[in-house]
Amino acid sequence: MDLKLQLVLVWLLQDLDGTSPDQWDIQDLDLDFDEQLFQSIWNSSYPGTPQGGAAACLVDVPGFNSLGLMIVYVLVFVFSVTGNSVVVYVVYSMKTGRASTDVYLMHLGVADLLFGLTLPFWAVDAHFGWVFGDALCKILSGFQEASLYSSVFLLACISIDRYVAVVRATRVHSSRRVVVRAVCAVVWVVAAALSLPVVFQRQSMFAEVQNRSICYENLTGASMERWRVSMRVLRHMVGFFLPLLVMTVCYSWTIIKLFHTRNQQKHKAMRVIMAVVLTFVLCWAPFHVTVVTDTLMQSRSLQMDDCGSQYVLKVMLNVTEVLAFTHCALNPILYAFIGEKFRHQFLSALSKQGLLSRRLQRVYRQGSTNSMGSNRSRNTSVTMSM
């Protein structure tokens, strides 16, 4: 009998009978094939199963602590919402002296705040499954997707703005403020448009293999594979590599310009820039590398037949995703709290609310003035102390 027909027969017998080949009397089958060949075919693996003909790998990773993942999500939520709320309030309350970067910073805070507000729902989903229904599945998925895109786009905008201010030495004027507002509007529109495919395709469904409800793209077959690859390529290119390229080019020129200037603040500014770029890379690069690996594995371009490797990859997807999400909690520290002007505005806001005495505020400002000197520009942004 032809080898392919033998293989088909083996699979049919495996599925219909549910017994092992050791329980069969192969001589009674009245077939002309080698028994050793039959045993090797049976014991070999086929796509979707581990080596040795064992059962398929479990959907949930054995021993993985989903409760710990939920707790981390909640912690990121707390820090993200707290920090970004302060940034939005302080920048919004600035009546005068609001620079273009401050406007970008406020929109960045709104984007990260919007993203942070979705985290409690994903925290519950990580441990209990999706229990919030179909409408919230679509809405929250759209919010998360739009806020992620808008956040990275605004980071790129800040790098361009710093390049223009430092390298081109362009002064702030009214027409530039109009341009900044228009750019922010375009960022939100583009981010919303990029999130629409997820909103349309996501829905709440019950996954029998996981025995719980999930919020996922409702696609099947070949369309599912094309959808997954297309969306991942879009996220990699538009949501990471292009913004990273813009940030790298703009900040490289900014650092070169600062290096040739005689300013006591240039070294601090360069350290802040390096921290901004490195934090972005360290938070997001592991996640994108892991997703690329998962895409290659699911398309069979990268072979991972043993369950151990697949379990490690699933754990890495969860861990690197949480690491990427922490970036929204780090942005307020990198872009706002590290700036001298922002700290002054923050203390002023606390003083107006009666949470800080004016005496302590004056003491801080006096000490800051003595240490910083009097050569700082009034138009210095709240970020980076440039």
Q: What pLDDT, in 10s, does the model give residues 248-268? A: 999 999 888 888 777 666 677
Cα(2)–Cα(9) distance, integer angstroms: 11
- Supply the DSSP symbol for 373: -
Residue 292 has pLDDT above 60, yes or no: yes
Tell which wins on pLDDT, 191 or 94. Answer: 191
Position 61 pLDDT exceeds 80? no
Across the range 284-312, mean pLDDT stands at: 83
Give the pTM: 0.77
- Binned at pLDDT 50, 70 and 90, residue 99 comes out as confident
Please tell me the distance from the alpha carbon of residue 207 to that of residue 215, in angstroms, as a whole number: 10
The pLDDT of residue 274: 83
The confidence band for 46, taking pLDDT boundaries of 50, 70 and 90, is very low
| Separation between Cα atoms, residue 43 and residue 163, nearest integer Å | 62
Domain boundaries, the chain: 3-44, 66-328, 339-379
CA dihedral (90, 93, 95, 101) in degrees, to 10, reads 40
Q: Which residue has the higher pLDDT, 100 or 384?
A: 100
Residue ranges in the chain assigned as alpha helix (H): 3-17, 35-43, 66-92, 100-128, 133-166, 174-201, 221-236, 242-259, 266-298, 307-325, 327-332, 340-352, 358-372
Most confident of 3-7, 17-21, 227-231: 227-231
- 24-38, 121-135, 225-239, 346-360: least confidently modelled range: 24-38
**50 by DSSP, 3-state: which?**
coil
Distance (Å, rounded) from C-alpha 118 to C-alpha 63?
26
Q: Residue 344: is its pLDDT beyond 60?
A: yes
Confidence of residue 217 (pLDDT cuts 50, 70, 90): confident
Assign a CATH topology to domain 66-328. Answer: Rhopdopsin 7-helix transmembrane proteins (1.20.1070)
Q: Using CA atoms, how far apart are residues 364 and 368, in angstroms rounded to an integer?
A: 6
3-state SS assignment for residue 126:
helix
Q: In the 8-state DSSP scheme, what is residue 382? A: S
Question: Which pLDDT belongs to residue 100?
Answer: 85
Residue range 203-229: mean pLDDT, rounded: 78
What mean pLDDT is reported for the chain? 77
Q: Which SS3 state, helix, strand or coil, does residue 57 take?
A: coil
Query: Could you give the count of Cα atoms lying within 13 Å of 285 in the half-sphere of its Cβ?
Result: 8
